[in-house]
Structure 1
Amino acid sequence: MPAKPLQGVRVLDLSRILAGPWCTQQLADLGAEVIKIERPDQGDDTRHWGPPWLKNSQEAAYYLSCNRGKKSVAMDIASEEGQQTLLALLDHCDVLVENFKVGGLKKYGLDYASLKEKKPELIYCSITGFGQDGPYAQRAGYDFMIQGMGGLMSLTGLPDDQPGGGPVKVGVAFADVFTGLYASNAILAALFQRQQSSLGTHIDLSLLDVQVGVLANQGLNYLTSGQVPQRLGNAHPNIVPYQAFATADGYMILAVGNDSQFQRFCLEIGCPELAEDQRFVSNQQRVAHREQLLPLLEPPLQERSTAQWLEDLEKIGVPCGPINNLEEVFQDPQVKHRGMELELPHPQAGKVKLISNPIRFDGEALNSTSAPPLLGEHTQEVLKELLNRE
Structure 2
Amino acid sequence: MGALSNLRVLDLTQVLAGPYCTMLLADMGADVVKIERPGGDLIRSNPPFVDDPDEEAYGGYFQSVNRGKRSIELDLGDEEDREDFLSLVEEADVVVENYRAGTMEKFDLGYETLSEHNPEIIYSSIRGFGDPRTGETNRQGQPSFDLIAQALGGVMEITGQAEGPPTKVGPGIGDLFTATLNCIGILAAVNHREQTGEGQHVDTAMYDSMISMAERAIYQQSYTGNPPTRRGNSHPTLFPYNAFEAADGYVVIAAFGTNHWQELCDAMGREDLAEDYPDPASRLKNRDFLREEVAEWTRERSSEEICDTLEGRIPVAPVQNTEDIFEDPHIHARDMLVPVEQPGADTEVEIAGSAIKMSETNPEPRGRAPLLGEHQEEILGEEIDAETAADD
Which bracket does the TM-score occupy, shorter chain normalised? over 0.9
1:9 maps to which residue?
A: 7
* Contact persistence 2:89–2:114 (CA under 8 A): no
How far apart are 1:118 and its partner, in Å? 2.6
1:108 maps to which residue?
A: 107
C-alpha separation between the residues in 2 aligned to 1:257 and 1:92? Answer: 54
C-alpha separation between the residues in 1 aligned to 2:382 and 2:51? Answer: 30
Report Cα offsets for 1:274-313 as digits up to 9, x if no partner.
1111xx3222332232123212222222222211110010
Count residues with an aligned counterpart.
380
2:285 maps to which residue?
A: 288
Of 330, 336, 350, which residue of structure 1 is paired with 2:332?
336
C-alpha separation between the residues in 2 aligned to 1:306 and 1:375? Answer: 46
C-alpha separation between the residues in 1 aligned to 2:251 and 2:362? Answer: 30
RMSD: 1.8
Report Cα offsets for 1:134-164 as digits up to 9, x if no partner.
110121111111111110000111113xxxx
Alignment of 1:16-27 (within 5 A): 16-27=14-25
Alignment of 1:143-182 (within 5 A): 143-160=146-163, 165-182=164-181
Report Cα offsets for 1:233-275 as digits up to 9, x if no partner.
1111121111111123322111114110001101110111111
C-alpha separation between the residues in 1 aligned to 2:67 and 2:107? Answer: 28
Of 26, 29, 44, which residue of structure 2 is paired with 1:28?
26
251-260 vs 197-206, which deviates more? 251-260
C-alpha separation between the residues in 2 aligned to 1:87 and 1:53? Answer: 38
11-20 vs 347-356, which deviates more? 347-356
TM-score normalised by structure 2 residue count = 0.93
2:370 maps to which residue?
A: 373
Secondary structure at 1:321 match in 2: strand
- 2:271 aligned with 1:272: yes
Question: Are residues 261 and 363 of structure 1, via their aligned partners in 2, closer, same or farther at CA, if it must alter by over 3 Å?
Answer: farther
* Contact persistence 1:157–1:232 (CA under 8 A): yes
* Contact persistence 2:353–2:365 (CA under 8 A): no
Question: Are residues 253 and 201 of structure 1, via their aligned partners in 2, closer, same or farther at CA, if it must alter by over 3 Å?
Answer: same
TM-score normalised by structure 1 residue count = 0.93
1:73 maps to which residue?
A: 72
C-alpha separation between the residues in 1 aligned to 2:341 and 2:229? Answer: 47
Secondary structure at 1:66 match in 2: helix
1:213 maps to which residue?
A: 212
C-alpha separation between the residues in 2 aligned to 1:73 and 1:94? Answer: 17
C-alpha separation between the residues in 2 aligned to 1:383 and 1:253? Answer: 53
2:315 maps to which residue?
A: 319
Secondary structure at 1:361 match in 2: coil
C-alpha separation between the residues in 1 aligned to 2:359 and 2:263? Answer: 37
The alignment-based identity, stated in percent, is 36
C-alpha separation between the residues in 2 aligned to 1:367 and 1:61? Answer: 18
The letter of the residue matching 1:19 is A
1:120 maps to which residue?
A: 119
348-357 vs 49-58, which deviates more? 49-58
Secondary structure at 2:91 match in 1: coil
* Contact persistence 1:88–1:387 (CA under 8 A): no
The letter of the residue matching 1:25 is M
The letter of the residue matching 1:46 is I
The letter of the residue matching 1:170 is V
Higher helix share: 2
The letter of the residue matching 2:109 is L
C-alpha separation between the residues in 2 aligned to 1:131 and 1:38? Answer: 22
Segments of 5+ residues of structure 2 without an aligned counterpart are none
C-alpha separation between the residues in 2 aligned to 1:172 and 1:239? Answer: 25
- 2:204 aligned with 1:201: no
How far apart are 1:386 and its partner, in Å? 2.2
The letter of the residue matching 1:65 is S
